[in-house]
Amino acid sequence: GDSVTQMEGPVTLSEEAFLTINCTYTATGYPSLFWYVQYPGEGLQLLLKATKADDKGSNKGFEATYRKETTSFHLEKGSVQVSDSAVYFCALSVGNTDKLIFGTGTRLQVFP
Amino acid sequence: DAGITQSPRYKITETGRQVTLMCHQTWSHSYMFWYRQDLGHGLRLIYYSAAADITDKGEVPDGYVVSRSKTENFPLTLESATRSQTSVYFCASSDGRGMTQYFGPGTRLLVL
């Protein structure tokens, strides 16, 4: 069945370091792909999305490119800040029902 | 205020008791969802609803009941709570077109 696999955390970085969080997926058909972020004590917020192959989603300095050939949607940011500390979830949509399948989440900790 | 709200935010109950978690959204979104979040599992879909009076099971529906008599409300009931249902529960909604889901702040449930 459809699934999402993302790298285990925590990912610990110093401020201004480069961030990559890996995400790969298995899906029938052509899913849309998402990154959601969860700040401490809050619900999830959409960070970015891509709906077809080679699309690049971007927001707040984060980017991810939909790579159909490698079934990947890795999240990157050139220079992280302490305020980026959160849990990041990769997800894909299933069919036309708006249902989402989530990865297990990756905790990012950024230190000054 | 506009948005999606959940109540209660925190709940402690005992094994065997019935518990209802409330979810309310003000956008008139057609789709609503219930997820549970557990360490090592990410978010797992419990139930979802495409419109009023239309509900369907997700990945982990056992022990839960939902209803949707009004578009804006989507309550989740644990008929006889078990310790394994200790979790953080998130409600979400979407308009069914952009596929972006908007999440509530969550309900933290402890079953003793």
Residue B40: what pLDDT? 79
User: One-letter amino acid identity for A20?
Assistant: T
Could you tell me what percent of chain B has a pLDDT over 70? 96
Secondary structure (DSSP) of B14-58: -TT--EEEEEEESS--SEEEEEEEETTTEEEEEEEEEETTEEEE-
Give the residue-averaged pLDDT of B83-89.
97
Mean pLDDT of chain B: 93
Residue A30 binned pLDDT confidence (cut-offs 50, 70, 90): confident
Residue A89 has pLDDT above 80, yes or no: yes
Residues A58, A35 contacting (CB under 8 angstroms)? no
Question: Across residues B89-112, what is the average pLDDT?
Answer: 89
- Cα separation, A13 vs B80, in Å, equals 44
Name the B residues in 21-50 with CB < 8 Å from any A CB: 31, 33, 35, 40-45, 48, 50
* A39-48: average pLDDT: 91
Inspect the interface and report whether the beta carbons of A43 and B90 lie closer than 8 Å. Answer: yes
Give the pLDDT confidence score for residue A94 in this predicted structure.
74
Task: Please tell me the predicted confidence (pLDDT) of residue A42.
Answer: 86
State the pLDDT confidence band at A99, using cuts at 50, 70 and 90. Answer: confident
- Confidence band of A97 (pLDDT split at 50, 70, 90): low
Chain B residues in contact with A34 (beta carbon < 8 A): 100
**Minimal-distance CA residue of chain A relative to B59:** A101
Looking at this protein, which amino acid is placed at residue A68?
Answer: K
| Residue B74: CB atoms within 10 Å | 29
Tell whether B90 is within 8 A of chain A (Cβ).
yes
Tens digits of residue pLDDT in B49-73? 999 999 999 999 999 999 999 999 9
Q: What is the pLDDT of residue A48?
A: 96
Mean pLDDT, range B72-88, rounded to an integer: 97
pLDDT score at B82: 97
Report which of residues A64 and A95 the model is more confident about: A64
